[in-house]
Amino acid sequence: MKKGDLLELDIEGYAFEGKGISRIGRESGDEKNFVVFVQNSYPGDKVKAKLIKIKKSFAEAKTTEIIFPSSERVEARCKYFGTCGGCKQQDLSYEAQIKYKQQQVEEIFKKLGGFSDLSADKTGKAGFEMLSIIPSKNTFFYRNKMEFSFSDKRWLTEDEISKEKTDMNFALGLHVPNIYDKVLDIDICYLQSELSYRILNFTRNFFKERNIQPYSTVTHSGFLRNLVIRQAYHTKDLMVNIVTANEDSALIKSYANELIKSFPEITTIVNNINEKKSSVAVGDYENLLYGEGFITDMIGEYTFQISANSFFQTNTLQAENLYKTALDFAEFKGDEIVYDLYSGAGTIAIYISKNVKEVYAFESVESAIEDSKVNAELNDINNVHFFNADLYKSFLPLIEENLPTGLSADKAGKAGKIPKPSLIILDPPRSGLHKNTVEDVIKINPEKIVYVSCNPATQARDIKLFSEAGLPTGKAGYKLIKMRPVDMFPHTFHIENVALLVK
């Protein structure tokens, strides 16, 4: 075999991040034990695929033709599917999507973590319980935030290539996978709402009619950078955030006025000004054009204030299921001291607050801490305390020193220190826990750990460290009790997973 070869392959399995698995013999007559991971294929497919990478133990290929489709395939709803980077498996039935996501989480923990489930270990001493995945109630129009990009380099579809009058220097839409500087110009998207893509189309027309140019990542000239729409699920609030490279108050005020006339549903409009060269939809500062500058939404019984750059779980309904799963796993009695690490805008800490004695929430982003304090005050919560802590370094000195300003000694004991917890909640970014944080948690020695993750691979790696020798601190002595995946993002490969560890 060599790179570029075309092979006919039967797809037998499904790997993490959506690659079909085929097993072949490398030469005629060989036993079929060489694995080929095939992009854009599903179990049950027979495909023609081109080899793009060959290693000693596996190869990667890309589907060029579907000879015989899997029975689990469906017709994708969106006309941009396959080109746009927003959805990766819209042509796979949702029932199959959640089946494979559950299988992938389980396989990751068995293969990468070395764990076994209860069915494999009949005694129940070593195995963990794998609970069934919680599917998303809405498989379309489920996102509360969409971030669209302007670009002076438009990605042309096959239909657009044949048209002579396509404007190649203006696009507003979503990035094409693996191509940072080109944007697919879209007029419809099924991820947020029908109202959302009508605002998208209005915005494109408004600026194109006035010949306003997108920002160029090459020349660093141009005005328009991003359109961010945040739409509450439980309230009627809707925010439009136009991100620009500099200020043009007359133009932006005109845009805001016309936008409100066309869409009275909008409750606030802001203009973030990003003067940096980096392509991020976050401004160096913000101008309020209309409304209060934030929206509010609810998770469970709690209200949260969401500003333009606040973190908030993107699927509001599934966030409730995610947090409820964490709460159920914790089995609080009401007298617990809890640490919430990577607390973000304080959503988990506030959600569990009435079930525990005190919550101490640690977060490195100062703006998120400010959001947390606002949300705690909004919900009249006084047993949650927020601290700025760099979790890439040890945070033990923070909890061992005298109390930070604002926390009374009667809440923390006679020594005037943050009390040790009986349970720690972890909700890190995709990269997982820093080894310093793992070591700190082991030294703190809580009775339970509830680990919420958006990346089962790094989660399995970290939980292995909690359950085995592998750190200078030695064996931590935690047992993985149970897990439950929660599908926050239908039609993508991403999956949240909640795990319970007990000392």
User: According to the model, what pLDDT value does residue 410 have?
Assistant: 54
Q: How confident is the model at residue 78 (pLDDT cuts 50, 70, 90)?
A: very high
User: According to the model, what pLDDT value does residue 118 have?
Assistant: 64
Q: How confident is the model at residue 412 (pLDDT cuts 50, 70, 90)?
A: low
Mean pLDDT of 211-240: 94
Ramachandran sector of residue 250 (left: φ over 0; alpha: ψ -120 to 50; beta: rest): alpha
Q: Is the pLDDT of residue 268 over 70?
A: yes
Mean pLDDT of 37-59: 93
Mean pLDDT of 179-184: 85
User: According to the model, what pLDDT value does residue 166 have?
Assistant: 67
Q: Is the pLDDT of residue 17 over 80?
A: no
- Pairing relationship of beta strands 294-299 and 302-307 according to DSSP bridges: antiparallel
DSSP 284-328: SEEEEEETTSEEEEEETTEEEEEETT----SSHHHHHHHHHHHHH
454 in active site: yes
On whether the CB atoms of residues 59 and 39 are closer than 8 A, the answer is no
User: Residue 217 has which token pair?
Assistant: 């990542």
Q: How confident is the model at residue 470 (pLDDT cuts 50, 70, 90)?
A: very low
DSSP character at residue 364: S
Note the CATH number of domain 145-299. 2.40.50.1070
Q: Which of 64-68, 110-114, 385-389 has the lowest mean pLDDT?
A: 110-114
236 vs 414: which has the higher pLDDT:
236
The domain segmentation of the chain, as residue ranges, is 6-68, 145-299, 313-502
Q: Is the pLDDT of residue 481 over 70?
A: yes
Q: Is the pLDDT of residue 366 over 90?
A: no
> Does the model's pTM come out above 0.85?
yes
User: According to the model, what pLDDT value does residue 16 have?
Assistant: 75
Average pLDDT of the chain is: 90
Q: Which of 14-23, 116-125, 155-164 has the lowest mean pLDDT?
A: 116-125
Q: How confident is the model at residue 177 (pLDDT cuts 50, 70, 90)?
A: confident
Q: Is the pLDDT of residue 414 over 60?
A: no
Note the CATH number of domain 313-502. 3.40.50.150
Q: Is the pLDDT of residue 144 over 80?
A: yes
Catalytic residue among 78, 84, 189, 454: 454
CA distance 62 to 79: 21
Q: Is the pLDDT of residue 83 over 60?
A: yes
Instruction: List, for residues 3-12, the tens digit of each pLDDT value.
Output: 999 999 999 9
Mean pLDDT of 329-342: 96
Q: Is the pLDDT of residue 244 over 90?
A: yes
On whether the CB atoms of residues 252 and 289 are closer than 8 A, the answer is yes
443 Cβ partners below 8 Å, 6+ apart?
396, 473
User: According to the model, what pLDDT value does residue 131 have?
Assistant: 95
Per CATH, the homologous superfamily of domain 6-68 is Nucleic acid-binding proteins (2.40.50.140)
Share of the chain above pLDDT 70, in %: 91
User: According to the model, what pLDDT value does residue 469 have?
Assistant: 46
Mean pLDDT of 253-282: 93
DSSP 164-222: TT--TT-EEEEEPTT-TT-EEE-S--SSS-HHHHHHHHHHHHHHHHTTPPBPPTTT---
CA distance 383 to 376: 9
User: According to the model, what pLDDT value does residue 355 have?
Assistant: 97
75 Cβ partners below 8 Å, 6+ apart?
91
Q: How confident is the model at residue 122 (pLDDT cuts 50, 70, 90)?
A: low
317 vs 368: which has the higher pLDDT:
317
Share of the chain above pLDDT 90, in %: 71
Do 145-299 and 313-502 share a fold?
no
Ramachandran sector of residue 237 (left: φ over 0; alpha: ψ -120 to 50; beta: rest): beta
Q: Is the pLDDT of residue 73 over 90?
A: yes
